[in-house]
Structure 1
Amino acid sequence: MRFIVFFLLSLLLLSCKAEKTPQDQYFEAGDERFTYMGRTLTSGEGKELIASGASVKTKVYGDTVTVFLKSKEGSYHYVAVELNEEYKGRFRITKDTLKFALPRKDSANTITIFKETEAANGILIFSGIRANKIEKISEQQRAKIEFIGDSITCGMGADTTEINCEEGEWFDQHSAYTSYGPRVARELGIDYEINCVSGMGIYRNWNDEDKPALPDVYPYLHLDGNHGKRVIINKEDPPQVVSIALGTNDFSLGDGEKLRMPFSEDPFKENYITFIERIFKIYPETKVALISSPMTREEDSKELIEILHEIKAQLADKPIEIFEFKKTYARGCSGHPSAEDHKLMAEQLVPFYRKMLNKE
């Protein structure tokens, strides 16, 4: 009889212990408790993170969290990870899982995954998360800036902590997370979206005269000259500011080998005005910021800023503001801004954007 009582008590204790240790579960990317930002697309494999800085976030519970990611095209990407708004690092992804210990064992932890590479590098697929429990982040709708630009806005050549400029692939130093746009957004406590393509300009690109430029690919989800699926505009979450930083590649001399015509002001100005008018048609209530280049030569910078002021004057009935960098920032790869340069750029830009957002 004593043995039976002991056996039953043991079972009860084991049952209580099991109840106190919930098992981790797998949550697929389509779960409504995930929040996405930037250009994404739902597919049979999960959620496709397309553009630079596209992200997914949620609250997680338990001892650990495992994130399932993979490259759709078989190449590799980089992601940045935040845990409870603390930067955990930059990780190379081919077909990988990232596992993190959760600092808060008895309460919610917030995890955010950011795509570091750009749309031109292909698609990064987020398949899901394994954790004890997840929960949607409930927050009021925040102000948002959409950052449109070229390789500078993409964060190209910014992060050399693991691979030097002369080594690896052209995108191995890409870091959208440390670029000026996300830095500004984190400082102001706002949301953001990045739509950028390295090498592209307003009317011509870094080393070609007749290929699609940024305004041509902007309407398409993958920012691709081959067009494809059009982006769906979320009218319920429009940006309060659309920031355009283009012109560096229009003024570029190219590779020095391919025939390059001198810069032409007329098509530049015409294309820029048409693009701005299109932005206002998409977002009638937005404001537009025109940003000068931190990479161009002194004489080109002067001409660019003069043209931007002419554009503003021609669109005098629209809410347009201009920001001019007073010096170059080119300590990263191929004369691009480094991560530290982006930090300095963001510090200058924060008051400018704060004023545009009426957050003073």
Structure 2
Amino acid sequence: MNYINKCLLFLLISISCVSVAQKKADAKSLFEYQGRIEKMQDDKVVLIGSASSVSFDFKGNSCSVSLQSVENHQNYVSLELDGKYIGRIRIEKGDVKSFPIVATNNKKTHHLSIYKATEAANGGVLFAGTSAKLVENTAPKNRKKIELIGDSITCGYGNDASTIPCGSGDWYDQHNGYWAYGPILSRALNIDFVLSSVSGYGMYRNWNDEHLDEPIIPDVYENLYLNRDSSKPYDFAFQPDLVSICLGTNDLSDGDGKKTRLPFNEDKYVTNYIAFIKTVYKHAPNTRIVLLNSPMVSGERNVTLVKCLKKVIHNFESDKAHKPIELFEFQPMSPKGCGYHPDIADDKVMAEQLIPFFKKLLNEK
């Protein structure tokens, strides 16, 4: 082979390699991610937090998606196709499994979103790819953003007993983060969102722990997986226009009635809340904060909770660097989900109450 032919061969190989690399890069850019996730090699992604998601547009009327529960137990995802909820699927423990997706309309292209229905405490769901013929999503990208910080209510705990009744299976078998109040209101307002929430956790103590054996939300908030693992910090690249905090249900709870439970400490709650808001401002200096009471707290406990929240807000009255902190109080509710939690219908009611309030604040940005 002469010198010229060798050069031509080398050039062809180089072009081919660049082309393959470009195709991989193009394919990678066609996936859209939302929520707390960890990007792995080969376009694989771990969905971590409640309602974290991967979305893409594809040609044709069908495709398959490859998913895996990375824990030694089942997990769940919810699917939305062309803007319509098409169900929650169970991912059994074990190897990566393929799940078929079939469109029933005659559109040439379709938009699929895969949402983690369970929460960070249940371990990750690995998105290992799709057989779909990907196409570019031309929808506007610069949407308003909101972060919702909270506990089981924000996670969507116990709201979906459509396949496994309350009291049956494992404690997370009725989770459906897709139908939690935050994602519902975010879809209604056409905004991007992230949930930073852990069931049972509070602002200064948890449902059944006096902050002795378990971390609280301020301990885990800055960690990607919302646990004690600080080796994987959350990057806070998602800069929310609005941050909603709904914490206090577990601080005010009586626990299981067996473990020692001290009286609610207003000073600890308020002090921790003030410090936590400063942490939020550190990572999102331009955001606006809204404090929520709880649909699971009523009577005198709600009076106490609202009083504490007002004390927290009062502490920031002289803060000129940020817009005023707002307080939102839910209307009284008798939750109908598992373990006295909201069910999907209750979550919709909560979202309907919040939508006009949040829309007004977002429009003021």
**Do Structure 1 and Structure 2 share a fold, with TM-score over 0.5?**
yes
* Corresponding position: 1:224 with 2:221: no
**Distance (Å, rounded) in 2 between the aligned partners of 1:286 and 1:31:** 30
Contact 2:57 2:137 in 1 (8 A): yes
**Distance (Å, rounded) in 2 between the aligned partners of 1:29 and 1:214:** 38
Q: Is the deviation greater in 180-189 or in 324-333? A: 324-333
* Corresponding position: 1:43 with 2:43: no
Matched residue type, 2:220: V
Question: Structure 1 residue 293: deviation in Å?
Answer: 0.6
Contact 2:56 2:134 in 1 (8 A): no
Contact 1:67 1:97 in 2 (8 A): yes
1:213 matched to which residue of 2? 216
Contact 1:294 1:325 in 2 (8 A): yes
Q: Equivalent residues in 2 for 1:1-360 (5 A)?
A: 31-44=28-41, 46-94=44-92, 95-103=96-104, 107-209=108-210, 210=212, 211-234=214-237, 237-316=238-317, 317=319, 318=322, 319-358=324-363
**Distance (Å, rounded) in 2 between the aligned partners of 1:109 and 1:243:** 32
User: Which runs of 5 or more structure 1 residues have no equivalent in the other structure?
Assistant: 1-25
Secondary structure at 2:351's aligned position in 1? Answer: helix
Question: Structure 1 residue 43: deviation in Å?
Answer: 2.2
Secondary structure at 1:120's aligned position in 2? Answer: helix
Question: Structure 1 residue 359: deviation in Å?
Answer: 7.0
**Distance (Å, rounded) in 2 between the aligned partners of 1:133 and 1:294:** 42
Question: Structure 1 residue 104: deviation in Å?
Answer: 5.3
Secondary structure at 2:333's aligned position in 1? Answer: coil
Provide Cα deviations, 1:332-353, integer angstroms capped at 9, x if missing partner: 1011011110011111111111
Secondary structure at 1:250's aligned position in 2? Answer: coil
Question: Structure 1 residue 313: deviation in Å?
Answer: 1.2
User: Which runs of 5 or more structure 2 residues have no equivalent in the other structure?
Assistant: 1-22
Question: Structure 1 residue 163: deviation in Å?
Answer: 0.5
Secondary structure at 1:278's aligned position in 2? Answer: helix
**Distance (Å, rounded) in 1 between the aligned partners of 2:132 and 2:185:** 31
Question: Structure 1 residue 86: deviation in Å?
Answer: 0.8
Matched residue type, 1:47: V
C-alpha spacing 1:337/1:27, structure 2 compared with 1 (3 Å): farther
**Distance (Å, rounded) in 2 between the aligned partners of 1:293 and 1:89:** 28
Contact 2:204 2:269 in 1 (8 A): yes
Provide Cα deviations, 1:105-160, integer angstroms capped at 9, x if missing partner: 56221110000000000010001111234334542310011000000000001001
Provide Cα deviations, 1:15-48, integer angstroms capped at 9, x if missing partner: xxxxxxxxxxx98997221000011112247211
C-alpha spacing 1:255/1:287, structure 2 compared with 1 (3 Å): same
Contact 2:148 2:182 in 1 (8 A): yes
C-alpha spacing 1:299/1:251, structure 2 compared with 1 (3 Å): same
**Distance (Å, rounded) in 2 between the aligned partners of 1:312 and 1:230:** 28
| Corresponding pairs, count | 333
Q: Is the deviation greater in 49-58 or in 92-101? A: 92-101
Contact 1:59 1:137 in 2 (8 A): no
**Distance (Å, rounded) in 1 between the aligned partners of 2:296 and 2:285:** 31
Question: Structure 1 residue 101: deviation in Å?
Answer: 1.9
Contact 1:28 1:127 in 2 (8 A): no
**Distance (Å, rounded) in 2 between the aligned partners of 1:129 and 1:27:** 13
Secondary structure at 2:204's aligned position in 1? Answer: coil
C-alpha spacing 1:330/1:60, structure 2 compared with 1 (3 Å): same
Question: Structure 1 residue 329: deviation in Å?
Answer: 3.9
TM-score after normalising by structure 2: 0.87
Secondary structure at 1:31's aligned position in 2? Answer: helix
Secondary structure at 1:347's aligned position in 2? Answer: helix
**Distance (Å, rounded) in 2 between the aligned partners of 1:96 and 1:322:** 45
TM-score after normalising by structure 1: 0.88
Provide Cα deviations, 1:263-305, integer angstroms capped at 9, x if missing partner: 0011100000000111112111100010001101311111101
Contact 1:145 1:241 in 2 (8 A): yes
Question: Structure 1 residue 324: deviation in Å?
Answer: 0.5
Secondary structure at 1:337's aligned position in 2? Answer: coil
Matched residue type, 1:120: A
